[in-house]
Structure 1
Amino acid sequence: MFDGKKRVVIENPRPRVDDGRFPAKRALYETVEVKADILVDGHDALRAVCLFRRESEQEHTVLEMTHLVNDLWTAEFQILAMERYYFTIRAWVDPYASWLNNLRKKHEARQDVAVELADGALLIEQAAARAPVQEDRENLHRYAAMLRESAQGDAVLLAGGAGVSELMARYPDPNTFSEYGQELVIEPEPAKAAFSTWYEVFPRSTGMGLAHGTFATLEELLPRIAAAGFDVVYLPPVHPIGSTFRKGKDNSPDAGPDDVGSPWAIGSEDGGHKSVHPQLGTMEDFERLVTIAKDKYGIDVAIDIAFQCSPDHPYVQEHPEWFRMRSDGTIQYAENPPKKYQDVYPFNFECDDWIGLWAELKSIFKFWIERGVRIFRVDNPHTKPLPFWEWCLGELRKEHPEIIYLSEAFTRPKIMYRLAKAGFTHSYTYFTWRNSKQELTQYLTELVEHAPRDYFRPNFWPNTPDILPEYLQYGGRPAFIIRLVLAATLSSNYGIYGPAFELCENEAVPGTIDYVHSEKYEIRDWNLEQSGTLWPFLTLVNRIRRENPALQQTWNLRFLPTDNDFVIFFAKESSEKAEPGSEVILVAVNLDPHNPQTATLTLPLEEYGIDESQTYMVHDLLGDDKFVWQGRHNRLDFDPRQLPARIFRLKRKLKRETDFDYFM
């Protein structure tokens, strides 16, 4: 049904994911920037408002929208509660503002505006009839009379005055309102979703020598991990490990009597997904670890959720219908030809009792949530049905919106994005394999500037227990420094597979990306105090991240030009509004771990309030060096054997000009 009084068209509101099929996401305290294309015929003035509310509220908060350019309008609100936010858009032609614009033009052209003033007085009286407040009605009638009675010049000034304009804006004609017609949803996420620093460690390798570590020996490492600036400790599966078809060292199909097996072969006579490996300790020990980590050190303990079973898992005996049976009567084990994983049985999500299976798998999350876990890393979610994740995570979020889920889905981009839409908070990414300047620039531009940013939060990992990239295999210590700086500054969420990374472990099975002596299949005796460790450098990088708000965001990334394809240069600002005095972080990295490189770095000085003729200082936070530069082009050397990267800090020029008040 068309209504001739509703002339405004509202198009392309955002953030909007799949036409509102899924919510957009924002972390607690992040800002939602609402935008829409708002159109009308002719040249009439428009007004537009964003109406938003929390799920627990009935009434909307009304925000005036601002016209940016080319029919694009915007408004902002902040996420201040862990409940869903809903917003929509309303717009209408503003007859008073349109009339006032025309009045001023005619008056400036020295035309008689008596009729126009009478028209304006009528508009004011119409607004008075809509005003429920007696004082406002009286004031509006008074303004209408003054327009009719005053000299034309005085009347024109009165018509544009703050008093009458404010009252007229307060009482528009609701019959002219155009509504978008749908409330769009913002899903809140915990603050740590926006900024976190992960350290992965196998608890069984935290003992003395090759003795089996425990939750207690891991607890002893917490002060060290916290002091280095990590706020998430991620543990691979902590459950009992099966013995049937147990894998030996280096994924050997023949396990010896002392081989500990893969933690991902979950389940034995000691229990399954709701139990802990007896050699790690008791459930009480685990709960103590979680509590101590959080309360004393500000660290969240994240655990791995892997929906698969060893042949010895209680589920195999109790619910054989949950697994895929082969024609010979055996259960189908996991395969990725030519690799075989006889120690792992995947679930059959298409089984006849899929409802029972889904419910049980959701209850695994609930079990660990009740024991204090608030962060989960989920193993291979892309090999489980997407509808399952949408249901499971959606149900969990109703009671526990504070939970963070990291998707370990190294798969096709659209599936990774769909998992994020289904409810995953973070995702592993292709960063692990993006090495060149062109690859990094193209990939980060896709993540930061296009649709995925409304629902897909990247978590950058230079290595994992499954992946020792070739770049790290052959680049030596400089390669580890380069990838660390990139991960920690390009993304506000990053992590490392701990001891292997800090000790620059780079020996791979020839021709693969698999670690030799992989910790997935054996206990490792890590000498964390050995010379050459990256621990001091890791600590420095994490401190720089904590002390500089510009690095606590991902979406503020902007690439800047250099004249060398081996040197990447980018900026992040602490304020997206680019206010005077806001912090600017500039990161320059030599991507060549073998050779020194020299590059000219180009800065947009006009945006930073710095004149080309001025000298200005930048402070390198990695080397603690200060450089005095002049102009937009400055040349810099990068020796990978010394320091292959620089993280510069400067401040935009303040309105109050004093010596060096906008430097450093």
Structure 2
Amino acid sequence: MLDLSPQLNDNLWPAKAFVGEAVPFAATAFREGHDLIGAMLLLTAPDGTESQHPMSPGAPGTDRWETLVTLGAQGRWTYRVRAYADDWATWRHNAALKIPAEVDVELTFLIGSALLTRESADKSRPLAERRAFTAAAKTLADPATSVATRFALLADPKLNAAAAVRPMAGLESVSEPRTVLVERTRAGVGSWYEFFPRSEGAVKRVDGSWQSGTFRTAADRLPAVAAMGFDVLYLPPIHPIGRSFRKGPNNTLNAGPNDPGSPWAIGSADGGHDAIHPDLGTVDDFSFFLAAARDNGLEIALDLALQASPDHPWVTEHPEWFTTLPDGSIAYAENPPKKYQDIYPVNFDNDPLGIRAEVLRIVRHWIGLGVSIFRVDNPHTKPLDFWEWLIREINAEFPDVFFLAEAFTRPALLQGLGKVGFQQSYTYFTWRNTKEELSEFFEGLAHETADFLRPNLFVNTPDILSEYLQFGGPAAFKIRAALAATAAPTWGVYAGFDLFESVARPGAEENIDNEKYQYRPRDFAAAEAAGASLAPYLTRLNRIRSEHPALGQLRNLDIHSSEDDGILVYSKFLDASFTGTGQADALIIVANVDPHSVRQTVVHLDVTRFGLPRGSSFVVEDLITGAVWTWSADNFVRLDAFTEPVHILHVKGLTQ
């Protein structure tokens, strides 16, 4: 047996899955000659329970064997694949050819009789099954019984059902075990919303300066976030912010006395990574906020940014944790052409054990307060072995805690972070905009890296306002939201996206008056009342996600074709045995990815990819507009980017 899947680097790290995920298992298995073989997946659950799952042949001529299994318990699973000579299938195949041709008829029946006699002696089989085998063996060996009667036993449902559950196998071989780490469902499925708590409830003073919002004023925004269907609220760093080299509005170097500074410039006389910014409140206020979030069905994700402002206690207590330049200064952070004079990166080569102990203490501190999700800032600038150690240590103690990697970096490094343990990752989605780019990108996420990389498709961030959003108008916002919400089980939105904020700071790919450097209170209710809010559309998308289990899977995406370079087509399908509803779930997404156009074309579907036989006609309902059509493999579409640029079509009436 070769090429077991899922596995990472010959089982160096466990493959990933989440509770409720339909995981494809596969292996290449073959033998010499023409006799038929079979394959069986042997699964061992975290509690030691063992189960067997028959595997089916994949694409003809590939010797690939496959099965789809939902792993329903959190923890480490192991699996092996058993390949065997399928004696019953081989005999049936030979008999089906020889007996109608009147070749070796009696000899063929005797071979079948001997096989059934052998299996009837297996006392581990049920008694009724053994008796059925004995009776069939006797019939096959009886020349007084007509050839037609004996030939009919090839199709006997009881015999074939028994052989399917427990094959009549010989020449068995079993693979080495492989590991799959199954994590909680939220590690794989979720809708994220990001806001700055200091902006929620911020009040302008008489002198024009701002009074910061607090955790208690920010809690007032939670019901609206939950009402849009989001289930994770991500907060930028909530710690004290340094004064030295504090950045002013739009990343300028001349901060005024009332400018709040970047939350990522962590640390001041008020404390470091284990402290709360005094403007936001106290630990009790934070606990109040966490409780309010839970009451609204929201989990809080907290930023973990392992860096320091020049005023952080670490700088004086542990100067060895930073890089000292030849002139005696400490190196600040850079991401050319961006400069972060207000941030000192941690040098993990200096005192690695001391740094590990401190970070572990900090993470445990916030877990102790009720945080179970961490969004990690720039993890690709820290050693992979550090993250492998930290995530392993935390998950051994707190298996429900998971980490999102903000890793906009080279593919090998981004993927390496997923392999060593990060449960989720940001991706290059923001910069994939054309039909060709998106097709390749989505295919890769679903079928090349899904064993170790779970994408979180954020449509924007405080640092990223893409040109597509800057110049695409409201249509661009709808398109990006619909793609993110349907292509992957986890997606995210940063506040302001729902208000179509699209003006960039000159020369930068980020919003002007960036919230990283100033307060940005927003009147969401007024915008929605005026029809200038995307909130109703986001709410609809999240409702569709909650009602359609096919969208809670990553590996089930298939690209289809269209005759227009601006029309992207893909489907998501989940068989009835995995939906929990008794009905299969199939969605077809047809998107005009050019936000400046009206497009009409013909789309071509492989209907077998969502459970229908070729040549089928079927009814689809657009879950955005409610329109209903009868479709087939080839369909005319017209998508006006200025009204509704995306069809999200539910295939009606699927029961298989």
Tell whether the structures are fold-level matches, with TM greater than 0.5.
yes
1:245 matched to 2:245? yes
| Counterpart residue number, 2:360 | 362
Identity across the alignment (%) = 39
Q: Which amino acid aligns with 1:151?
A: A
Could you list the per-position Cα deviations for residues 533-568 of structure 1 after superposition, in whole angstroms to 9, with x for gaps in the alignment?
Answer: 222222222222222333333332223322322232
Q: Report the TM-score when normalising by structure 2.
A: 0.89
Q: Tell me, yes or no, if the aligned pair for 2:88 and 2:163 is still in contact at 8 Å.
A: yes
Q: Go from structure 1 to structure 2 and tell me whether the alpha carbon gap of 1:611 and 1:193 turns closer, same or farther (over 3 Å shift).
A: same
| Counterpart residue number, 2:499 | 503
Q: Tell me, yes or no, if the aligned pair for 1:188 and 1:401 is still in contact at 8 Å.
A: no
| Counterpart residue number, 1:335 | 334
Could you list the per-position Cα deviations for residues 459-492 of structure 1 after superposition, in whole angstroms to 9, with x for gaps in the alignment?
Answer: 1122100111111112222222222222222222
1:60 matched to 2:54? no
| Counterpart residue number, 1:42 | 33
Where do 5+ consecutive residues of structure 1 fail to align?
1-9, 656-664
Could you list the per-position Cα deviations for residues 330-389 of structure 1 after superposition, in whole angstroms to 9, with x for gaps in the alignment?
Answer: 3222123444322211111111x2112112212222221121111111000000011111
* Partner SS state of residue 362, structure 2: helix
Q: Tell me, yes or no, if the aligned pair for 1:232 and 1:300 is still in contact at 8 Å.
A: yes
* Partner SS state of residue 320, structure 2: helix
| Counterpart residue number, 1:110 | 102
Q: Go from structure 1 to structure 2 and tell me whether the alpha carbon gap of 1:311 and 1:636 turns closer, same or farther (over 3 Å shift).
A: same
Distance 2:91 2:620 in 1: 52
Q: Go from structure 1 to structure 2 and tell me whether the alpha carbon gap of 1:320 and 1:632 turns closer, same or farther (over 3 Å shift).
A: same
Could you list the per-position Cα deviations for residues 288-318 of structure 1 after superposition, in whole angstroms to 9, with x for gaps in the alignment?
Answer: 2222212x11111111000001122122222
Q: 2:471 aligns with which of 474, 477, 490?
A: 474
Distance 1:300 1:287 in 2: 13
Q: Return the offset for 1:205.
A: 0.3
Structure 1 window deviating more from structure 2 (631-640 vs 199-208): it is 631-640
| Counterpart residue number, 2:172 | 177
Q: Go from structure 1 to structure 2 and tell me whether the alpha carbon gap of 1:540 and 1:157 turns closer, same or farther (over 3 Å shift).
A: closer
Q: Report the TM-score when normalising by structure 1.
A: 0.88
Distance 2:221 2:245 in 1: 33
Q: Go from structure 1 to structure 2 and tell me whether the alpha carbon gap of 1:503 and 1:183 turns closer, same or farther (over 3 Å shift).
A: same
Distance 1:307 1:172 in 2: 55
Q: Which amino acid aligns with 1:444?
A: F
Q: Return the offset for 1:149.
A: 5.3
Q: Go from structure 1 to structure 2 and tell me whether the alpha carbon gap of 1:157 and 1:323 turns closer, same or farther (over 3 Å shift).
A: same
| Counterpart residue number, 2:399 | 401
* Partner SS state of residue 471, structure 1: helix
Q: Tell me, yes or no, if the aligned pair for 2:323 and 2:330 is still in contact at 8 Å.
A: yes
Q: Go from structure 1 to structure 2 and tell me whether the alpha carbon gap of 1:97 and 1:645 turns closer, same or farther (over 3 Å shift).
A: closer
Q: RMSD over aligned Cα, in angstroms? A: 3.1
| Counterpart residue number, 2:644 | 643
* Partner SS state of residue 523, structure 2: coil
Q: Tell me, yes or no, if the aligned pair for 2:22 and 2:553 is still in contact at 8 Å.
A: no
Q: 1:524 aligns with which of 502, 520, 523?
A: 520
Q: Go from structure 1 to structure 2 and tell me whether the alpha carbon gap of 1:128 and 1:477 turns closer, same or farther (over 3 Å shift).
A: closer
Q: Tell me, yes or no, if the aligned pair for 2:85 and 2:170 is still in contact at 8 Å.
A: no
Q: Tell me, yes or no, if the aligned pair for 1:407 and 1:426 is still in contact at 8 Å.
A: yes
* Partner SS state of residue 205, structure 1: coil
Distance 1:313 1:271 in 2: 7
Distance 2:639 2:121 in 1: 72
Q: Return the offset for 1:228.
A: 1.0
Q: Go from structure 1 to structure 2 and tell me whether the alpha carbon gap of 1:297 and 1:42 turns closer, same or farther (over 3 Å shift).
A: same
* Partner SS state of residue 460, structure 1: strand
| Counterpart residue number, 1:306 | 305
| Counterpart residue number, 1:7 | none
Q: Tell me, yes or no, if the aligned pair for 1:448 and 1:557 is still in contact at 8 Å.
A: yes
Q: Return the offset for 1:253.
A: 1.7
Distance 2:123 2:339 in 1: 76
Q: Which amino acid aligns with 2:69?
A: F
1:620 matched to 2:611? no
Q: Return the offset for 1:161.
A: 5.2
Q: Go from structure 1 to structure 2 and tell me whether the alpha carbon gap of 1:630 and 1:165 turns closer, same or farther (over 3 Å shift).
A: closer
Q: Which amino acid aligns with 1:407?
A: A
Q: Return the offset for 1:237.
A: 0.2
* Partner SS state of residue 480, structure 2: helix
Q: Tell me, yes or no, if the aligned pair for 2:46 and 2:73 is still in contact at 8 Å.
A: no
Distance 2:471 2:126 in 1: 80
1:21 matched to 2:12? yes
Q: Tell me, yes or no, if the aligned pair for 1:124 and 1:168 is still in contact at 8 Å.
A: no
* Partner SS state of residue 2, structure 2: strand
Where do 5+ consecutive residues of structure 2 fail to align?
204-209
Q: Tell me, yes or no, if the aligned pair for 2:605 and 2:634 is still in contact at 8 Å.
A: yes
* Partner SS state of residue 219, structure 1: helix
| Counterpart residue number, 1:490 | 487
Alignment of structure 1 residues 557-636 onto 2, 5 Å: 557-575=557-575, 582-604=584-606, 617-624=619-626, 626-629=627-630, 632-636=633-637
Distance 2:625 2:165 in 1: 57
Q: 2:441 aligns with which of 443, 454, 474?
A: 443
| Counterpart residue number, 1:199 | 193
Q: Return the offset for 1:138.
A: 8.1
Q: Tell me, yes or no, if the aligned pair for 2:458 and 2:491 is still in contact at 8 Å.
A: yes
| Counterpart residue number, 1:4 | none
Q: Return the offset for 1:175.
A: 8.2
* Partner SS state of residue 255, structure 1: coil
Q: Tell me, yes or no, if the aligned pair for 1:240 and 1:267 is still in contact at 8 Å.
A: yes
| Counterpart residue number, 1:86 | 78
Q: Return the offset for 1:440.
A: 1.2
Q: Tell me, yes or no, if the aligned pair for 1:382 and 1:411 is still in contact at 8 Å.
A: yes
Q: Which amino acid aligns with 1:467?
A: I
Structure 1 window deviating more from structure 2 (563-572 vs 400-409): it is 563-572
Distance 1:576 1:327 in 2: 66
Structure 1 window deviating more from structure 2 (539-548 vs 402-411): it is 539-548
Distance 1:479 1:82 in 2: 38
Could you list the per-position Cα deviations for residues 95-121 of structure 1 after superposition, in whole angstroms to 9, with x for gaps in the alignment?
Answer: 454345445544333345555555555
Q: Which amino acid aligns with 1:276?
A: I
Q: Go from structure 1 to structure 2 and tell me whether the alpha carbon gap of 1:164 and 1:315 turns closer, same or farther (over 3 Å shift).
A: same
Could you list the per-position Cα deviations for residues 552-610 of structure 1 after superposition, in whole angstroms to 9, with x for gaps in the alignment?
Answer: 33332223322322232332234388999634323232223233333333344676759
Q: How many residues align?
A: 638
Distance 2:227 2:313 in 1: 40
Could you list the per-position Cα deviations for residues 481-530 of structure 1 after superposition, in whole angstroms to 9, with x for gaps in the alignment?
Answer: 222222222222111111x2112222212122132211101111212223
Q: Go from structure 1 to structure 2 and tell me whether the alpha carbon gap of 1:599 and 1:146 turns closer, same or farther (over 3 Å shift).
A: closer
Distance 1:495 1:310 in 2: 28
